[in-house]
Amino acid sequence: MSELLEKLSNAPGVSGFEDEIRKIITDELKDHVDEIEADSMGNIIAVKKGRENGKKIMLAAHMDEIGLMVRFIDKKGFVKFSKMGGINDQMLLNQEVIIHSKKGKILGVIGAKPPHRMKPAEKKKVLEYENMFIDIGASSREEAEELISIGDPVTIKHEFSNLRGNLVTGKAFDNRVGCYVLVEAMKRAKTNATIYGVGTVQEEVGLKGAKTSAFKINPDMAIALDVTISGDHPGIKFEDAPAKINKGPAIILTDASGRGIITHPMVKKLLIEAASEEEIPYQLEVSEGGTTDATAIHLTREGIPTGVLSVPTRYIHTPVEVASLEDIENTIKLLIAAIEKI
């Protein structure tokens, strides 16, 4: 399991630049599905055909990760950047980064004014990203421009690793974990329904790929595959994030306090019954936080019955996200069990 997950996690794929993730998914699925294509937005759509006139089921996992983009290069060659997606400024400072340019991967570090020269009031504040910069070692704008360009995407440099037990850590588990679940479910599922496995683009910046791909497919039902906050560590109240690592996938009942998805009763019933029948551990979640591709999908055309399966994950939207291989495998099993009930 971890070899493919490692490949997906380590690969770059900032919103709008999901090419490498799309290639990995294509290579993994091309011998296991009947059709596979990339649409004009960049979504990858793999089709596993069922019986004629059978139900159409859409599985969606977003391929993009949060990241940065080169915005400005000053006369000394230092790089100012913009954020792509929901990034907490405090996790950026002093990180190693990779600028993905036409010249290849350019290593840099995020720097800022040293604490030795900060006033006491400054030290107490979270440094905002506008006051940071990327140092690639260039001595002038001209030298930097030989290597990088305005608009180049930037990722945090961090490698996938195994922790104790069955836990793994890496960048972009949001949502390469979902991509892994999608790939494995497409490989293993056997059903009369036609399954559309979609790796969507630009979820982190507006659920964009989900909107266009759902409109094209017009499925009878959809399940978004993502991660959710695991509240089993210091610094967070259990009541604010009740999902726990190693307790099974989370079936999301609503997110963003109902402004996002409110899971269709049919989909909720299907997922819970499948988990109970197969004795797969699961958790139920009512979330007040973020949302997923499901929000865009369920509002497409006349409306699509939609739900969400999420893998509990610690430290989401940082380079050191942590997930359980057991939870990931149980998410795959539950997804397949649900599909095969249709």
Q: In degrees rounded to 5, what are phi and psi of residue 237?
A: -80, 140
Choosing from 203, 204, 285, 321, the catalytic residue is 203
Please indicate whether residue 203 is annotated as part of the active site. Answer: yes
Question: Distances from the Cα of 143 to the Cαs of 46, 78, 80, 139, 153, in angstroms?
Answer: 43, 10, 15, 7, 19
What tokens does 100 get?
A: 């993905």
Residues with catalytic function? 203
